[in-house]
A and B are shown apart, each in its own frame.
Chain A
């Protein structure tokens, strides 16, 4: 079965431009998470979607960051007016809602803001 997929795998953008990162979770997983890993750092939680509930946005670093999850499946993370400090690997994960808390990660999108 297919795992979590993310696109693009790499993105280079100029400071001030907007970017969209896409995540396709594992079919049947109702929970979807976005994290980022900056150079030399651990994984930083950004946002969490669970079914039809309001998303947990507590990890978004600024109002330039937003995310949507359409139809309970695909998610898009949007960063407006990118800054150099946004450069990181953005990781998406999905999981079942109950029972196990194992999250399955995609390969990530490496974002470089020049």
Chain B
């Protein structure tokens, strides 16, 4: 039972354009959502997060949008840079504890 889903395994974007990574979830008890970025042979690094009481959080080139009614969140990167090329995981935390439930990841490739 996949509670957090990233339906696009890969995404290719031109440098300078917008990258939009999507994530869907099924559990209405999730109260916090996070995006992580992962390079090969490294652990994931935290990127940006959003509480379920908000619908948008922005940090520089990165913006996360949350649509609770649709149980959908997205990460926007603008403008995209070649260094953004990595695997992006969305993750969700429920209100019962600290563990995170991760999606399968989307591999972003930003081409110069």
Contacts and interface: CB of A to CB of B under 8 A. Distances in A.
A41 B98 CA distance: 21
Interface in B38-54: 41-46, 49
B98 A31 contact: yes
A48 B44 contact: no
Interface in B45-92: 45-46, 49, 89, 91
A82 interface: no
Interface size class of B (residues with CB under 8 A): 20 to 34
A42 B49 CA distance: 18
B99 to A, nearest CB: 5
Main secondary structure of the interface of B (DSSP, over half): strand
Interface in A53-78: 56, 58-59
A104 B46 contact: yes
A101 B44 contact: no
A42 B103 contact: yes
Contact of A48 (B34, B46, B98): B98
Interface of B: 4, 6, 32, 34, 36, 41-46, 49, 89, 91, 93, 97-105
Interface of A: 4, 31, 33, 35, 41-45, 48, 50, 56, 58-59, 91, 93, 95, 97, 101-108
